[in-house]
Structure 1
Amino acid sequence: MSTMQCVHRDHTIVADVVEHPGIPTPWAGGCHITTPDGRTTKRLPLPVDSLYLAELESAQRASIAHGKWLVDQALDHGKPLFH
């Protein structure tokens, strides 16, 4: 399985999708974000209402989109990436 990643506003975002076999929507989306200074977040899951998806690629894309949103929130609105 390949890992989807991108660079957004000098932050590297890597999808971290976990499989939960046996359920109709087995892919739990999440991501790691690495800041320009080299710090990496713990796994940041998608919000609960959209956490599980039916297809791996959809979960990866949603995870990257969520990571971009988190970076934007941190840079534009002062929301912390690290808790």
Structure 2
Amino acid sequence: MTRLQCEYREHAIKADVVEHPDLPTPWAGGCHITAPDGHTTRRIALPVQSAFLADLDSAQRASIAHGKWLVDQHLDHGRALPE
């Protein structure tokens, strides 16, 4: 499986989607964020209410969007990225 990834505000964001084949919405979204200093976060799951999606493409795109939001929160509001 290919992983969607992007560079955003000098941070690398990689989608990390996990498949749960027995569920009607089998794709659990998540991402890893690498800061400019090389530190990489653990897998950060999507919020519970939107964690599972019906198709891989949507799960990857939602994961990247969530990663961008987390980077914005970190840079604009001083919130720490998850360890």
Give every structure 1 segment of 4 or more consecutive aligned residues whose post-TM-superposition deviation is greater than 2 Å. none
Identity rate, percent: 70
- Structure 1, unaligned stretches of length 5 or more? none
Code of the aligned partner of 1:49 = Q
1:75 aligns with 2:75: yes
In the alignment, which residue of structure 2 is the partner of 1:5?
5
| In 1, Cα distance between equivalents of 2:35 and 2:70 | 12
For the Cα contact (< 8 Å) 2:12–2:35, is it kept in 1? yes
Aligned residues: 83
Structure 2 residue matching 1:62: 3-state secondary structure? helix
Deviation at 1:22, TM superposition (A): 1.1
Root-mean-square deviation (CA, aligned residues, Å) is 0.6
Gaps of 5+ in 2: none
TM-score w.r.t. the length of structure 1 is: 0.98
1:52-67 superposed matches below 5 A: 52-67=52-67
Under a length normalisation based on structure 2, what TM-score does the superposition of the two structures give? 0.98
